[in-house]
Amino acid sequence: MSEERRQHVLRAIVQDYVATSEPVGSKALLDRHRLGVSAATVRNDMAVLEEEGLITAPHTSAGRVPTDAGYRAFVDRLNEIKPMSRAERAAVQTFLAQAVDLDDVVDRTVRLMSSLTNQVAVMQYPSLNPATIRHTELVSLDGDRLMAVVILSNGRVEQRIVQVDVDLVTEARQQLLRTLRDRVNEAVAGATWSEGIRLLPAVIDRIAPEHRETAGLVIAVLADALAQQREERVALAGTAHLARSVSDFPMTIGPVLEALEEHVVLLRLLGQMSQTSSASGDSVAVRIGAENTVDGLRGASVVSSTYGADSTAGLGVLGPTRMDYPSTMAAVRAVARYVSEILDQR
């Protein structure tokens, strides 16, 4: 019973400190929460929690604040993540569904997560590795220019402009583009991007000799579009939120900002957290303070989830350890689910 009560006290301290950013004392706990015990009992419970390293006194006042270990104990004992309201879920779904392509999906996602949580949002572009080529299209623009478009199964659309030395407006040239498009789709539709790169050159041999030079230019551009693997990219939004949380970082937000500039570091972090959530069977992973392997983020918390049918890419938010974990975890989980649904439909 005493252990359960102390966990109740810890939960109350975390909730009050997150809400007020002020150290929490026994009197405040009794005033705000129905603990059903005396002030002396609360003080004794707080003393035990401090001995266990779950709370600490930032100065000589009677107030206490959670430590990284205290936040971890709080998060680990969340029986369930409070779901978003029906109105919130509908708004999220509608906003994301309006995206026109993958870049727009990613941009909307990070802006949405940042808005919902008031934290920095991070999203990894979905990996090309498991993606297949859904369709290619060739569109004449004007005179001797055309647009080559590659649509992948994960929703990504690659576009390139090709400059050729022939007039594409004539009916004969238009027929060439249609023929070339059909030959390309016959060769690579359903193939992975790496297979597509390997299969594309053979398409040139199926084109009439007098048109192979033009076909070669187009094929080279399509191959280039596939070769540029953009999975090593992350998108960010809401960095300005850190400026409103300067006092929550032990020393300065400088190391956090430097870490955010290192996209390779963020990709590695999301990958590690994805493995953690997969191993635990939980859709949301949380790293708090010193649990972060990145030095610059040891004063911050990261909440992340995977998304997509293959769950190989991650998204999440980053902010101070004084974070509303239940709401943040609910928002990240909900957004990841909707992003997965939208990409599956594309």
> In a structure prediction context, what are the per-residue pLDDT tens digits for the chain, which is 346 residues long?
588 889 999 999 999 999 999 999 988 888 888 888 888 898 999 999 999 999 998 876 668 999 999 999 999 988 667 778 888 888 888 999 898 888 899 999 999 999 999 999 999 988 655 678 899 998 888 777 888 888 888 777 888 888 777 776 777 778 888 898 999 999 999 988 778 888 888 998 888 888 888 888 888 888 877 776 544 688 999 999 988 887 888 667 888 888 888 888 888 888 888 777 655 556 899 999 989 888 888 889 999 998 876 666 899 999 999 999 999 999 999 999 999 888 877 6
What lies within 8 Å, CB to CB, of 137 at 6+ separation is 148, 149, 151, 181
pLDDT at res. 324: 94
Angle between helices 86-97 and 325-344 (to 10 degrees): 40
Which sequence spans correspond to the domains of the chain? 2-76, 86-127+233-344, 133-227
Give the residue among 303, 308, 306, 296 at the shortest CA–CA distance from 329: 303
Q: CA neighbours within 13 Å on the CB side: how many for 277? A: 26
Strand 120-124 and strand 313-320: the pairing is antiparallel
Q: How far is CA 299 from CA 54, 252, 266, 275, 321, in A?
A: 16, 9, 15, 22, 7
**86-127+233-344 has the same fold as 2-76:** no
pLDDT at res. 303: 95
pLDDT at res. 127: 66
Q: Which CATH superfamily groups domain 86-127+233-344?
A: GAF domain (3.30.450.40)
pLDDT at res. 71: 96
Q: Which CATH superfamily groups domain 133-227?
A: Enolase-like, N-terminal domain (3.30.390.10)
Q: Among the residues of the chain, which ranges form H helices?
A: 2-20, 26-32, 39-51, 68-76, 86-97, 102-117, 171-188, 193-199, 201-204, 212-227, 254-261, 263-280, 325-344
Q: How far is CA 94 from CA 87, 111, 223, 338, in A?
A: 11, 14, 35, 10
Tell me the C-alpha distance between 117 and 21, whole Å.
16
Please tell me whether residue 196 adopts helix, strand or coil conformation: helix
pLDDT at res. 60: 66
Give the residue among 307, 110, 127, 109 at the shortest CA–CA distance from 230: 127
pLDDT at res. 230: 47
| Count of CB atoms situated within 10 Å of the CB of 74 | 21
Q: What is the CATH number of domain 2-76?
A: 1.10.10.10
